[in-house]
Structure 1
């Protein structure tokens, strides 16, 4: 089963590239929660803590595509090195502003700067896999591996930052996140053998290839809708556990959901798929909506854990297919930018999803709020149906632009 993984990791520099990218990505799941824990501990105001965290996340979503474009044009080494150091400095200043009691506006500013400079390592490592590997099936396996590592980051990161902040010091979680980001990203960016070549605007090779928006826009909508689904499901699950009198169990429930996705990601990477990624995106999006529907009817915590675990099996295959399709249609010279568009869509959807589900929880209860995730899944499924057909026409979008 793991032959496919051994094959891709045996490529020169692949294992080091992927492992350092894993470390560099830890802040993705640590900083938002770390900011909430730090600011709330210092001020006693969760509203302010949430607002500072939101400034960080909104800025990250707003600047991710620009950073992806720079990664393609200037090369990963320079851009990631500057981004990681700027991120480390800004988050360090954020911590200082909170600890020293500076005006709260400075904390917002440093949070926004930190979000803007968070290195887009997830997009960068997927672009590297596309550059290093020749066979589409191997690229598919590599994307499955990265999806599994993403799930590991989102399982381990919040646990690590919460334990450090509550048992040691509120600053500790953010310190570890900064160290992981700077050290991991600098090590990753220094690996020039796996990096795709820069694609400057004026390189004498003709006009810059255009983005195949006819495929990219529906894919971005799919990602945004799935972001809404994720954000809504997380808030709703916490509310469900609280309604049952065991709020602390919410972390375990969400971990089961992520574990289901992780398991499906491992299996997906080991399978040689006969159907192309566009077909899998269409079916996967529909499966996401179907997988969330039973949650509305669940009334006990043990059953909810089991249903969430099963529902998680729809996540990774859908995301892997989405990234594989992006890789197959976006020109190589704009691949990191294309990946960043998908990541931005996911991030941008989380906050609205959390807000909508929170409103439904307040007025109708937690079970009803799971319908927000169902509707988001249906929106993703509808957007996926607008992708160009047949599969060959999607590949043609890229061939005409390379």
Structure 2
């Protein structure tokens, strides 16, 4: 099974940029929670803490596509290095503003600036894989590897920041996240041998290739709906455990969900798929919706853990197929921008999903709130059906989907 992974990691420079990319994107799962822990400890208000964290995430979602466009035009080295420095300065000043009791408006502004500058390393890593690998099957394996690493980030990041903030100091979690981001991104951006070439715009350059919106828009909707599904399921699972008097178990339940996804991601990357990514996006999104249905009927914590583990099997394969299809249909000169659109869709969906499920929990209980995830999955499945059945930029894998 591991032969496919050994093959891609044997390519010069790939192991190095993948591992430094892993370190650089740790803040994705650390900064939001770190802000909540820092601000709540300083002010005693979870409301203010949550609002400042939301300012950070909204700015990140709003500027990710612009940064992706700059990455394609100017190159990863310049843009990621500048973004990492801007991110480090903004978040460091945010910590100073909280600890120094500055007017809260400054904290909101600095959170938004930090979110806007957060380096789009996840998109850049996938674009880099697409550049260095020639075979579509190898790109599929690389995207599976990155999906597994993403799951590791989302499992380990919150645990690490919570442990540092509670056992050491509220600043410690954010400090580690900033150091990991800045150092990891600078090392990643310095690896020029594997970086895709920039596609600058000037008066003599060819027109920018058009974005295949007929494919990109349905894929972005799928990602946004899956973000809603994730945000809703996380809040609902915490409420489910709390209703049964074991709120602390919620972290373990969510870890089982992520572990199922991680396991499926490893297997996905080792398989040579006969069906193309568009086929797998359509069926994967439907499988994610179906996997959420049994949760409505479960009342036992152990059984919930087992079912969440199985439900997680649908996550990574669907996300891998989504990124593989994006890579197949988006022109290379706009690939980082296309990847950033998908990442933005995911991030943008989490907050509405969490909010809507919270309202359902308050009025109908946790079990009913799992239906929010079911509904989001169904909308994702419907959006996936709008994907074109044929592609203009054909690869062996994409052609097999026709």
How many angstroms apart in 1 are the aligned matches of 2:280 and 2:25?
26
Q: 1:303 aligns to what? A: 303
TM-fit CA distance, 1:394: 6.2
Specify the alignment match of 1:27 in structure 2: 27
Shift of 1:393: 4.9
1:59 is paired with a residue of what secondary structure? helix
| Partner SS, residue 101 of structure 2 | coil
Contact 1:388 1:394 in 2 (8 A): no
Relative distance call for 1:144 and 1:63 in structure 2 (3 A) is: same
Report matched runs for 1:306-385 at 5 Å. Answer: 306-385=306-385
Residue 205 of structure 1 and its aligned partner are, at CA, apart by 4.3
Match of 1:173 in 2: 173
CA RMSD of aligned residues (A): 1.2
Deviation at 1:206, TM superposition (A): 1.5
Q: Distance in 2 between matches of 1:204 and 1:262?
A: 46
Give the secondary structure class of the aligned counterpart of 1:389.
Answer: coil
CA contact 2:77–2:190 (8 Å) conserved in 1: yes
Pairing of 1:2-401 with structure 2 (within 5 A): 2-202=2-202, 204-390=204-390, 392-393=391-392, 395=394
- Partners of 2:139 and 2:393 lie apart in 1 by 17
- Following TM superposition, by how much is the alpha carbon of 1:113 offset from its aligned partner in structure 2, in angstroms? 0.3
| Separation (CA, whole Å) in 1 of partners of 2:175 and 2:256 | 28
Looking at structure 2, the residues matched to 248 and 283 of structure 1 have their Cα atoms a distance apart, in angstroms, of 34
- Relative distance call for 1:284 and 1:394 in structure 2 (3 A) is farther
**In structure 2, how many angstroms separate the alpha carbons of the residues matched to 1:272 and 1:41?**
50
Which digits, 9 at most, give the CA deviation of each residue in 1:190-229, with x for residues without a partner?
A: 0001100000122734211010001000000000000000
Query: Does the 8 Å contact 1:358/1:369 carry over to 2?
Result: yes
* Whole-Å separation in 1 of the counterparts to 2:172 and 2:123: 27
8 Å contact from structure 2 (residues 72, 198) kept in 1: yes
Displacement, 1:395? 3.1
Residues 210-261 of structure 1 show CA distances to partners (whole Å, capped at 9, x for unaligned) of: 1000100000000000000000000000000000100011000000000000
When the two structures are aligned, how many residues end up with a matched partner? 397
Does the 8 A contact of 2:329 with 2:392 survive in 1? no
SS of structure 1 residue aligned to 2:387: coil
In 1: Cα distance, 2:74 partner to 2:353 partner: 35
1:39, 1:45 within 8 Å by CA — same for their partners in 2?
yes
Q: Is the 8 A contact 2:141 2:269 kept in 1?
A: yes
SS at match of 1:143: helix
Question: Residues of 1 paired with 2:313 and 2:189: CA distance?
Answer: 32
- Offset of residue 95 of structure 1: 0.3
TM superposition outliers: structure 1 runs of 4+ over 4 Å = none
- Structure 2: runs of 5 or more not aligned: none
1:111-155 per-residue CA deviation (whole Å, 9 max, x = no partner) reads 000000000000000000000000000000000000000000000
1:75-123 CA deviation, whole Å, 9 max, x = no partner?
Answer: 0000000000100000000000000100000000000000000000000
CA distance in 2, matches of 1:8, 1:267: 15
Q: Quickly say closer, same or farther: Cα 1:243–1:249, change in 2 above 3 A.
A: same
* Aligned-residue offset at 1:159: 0.1
Distance (Å, rounded) in 1 between the aligned partners of 2:228 and 2:121: 22
Contact 2:17–2:188, Cα closer than 8 Å, also in 1: yes
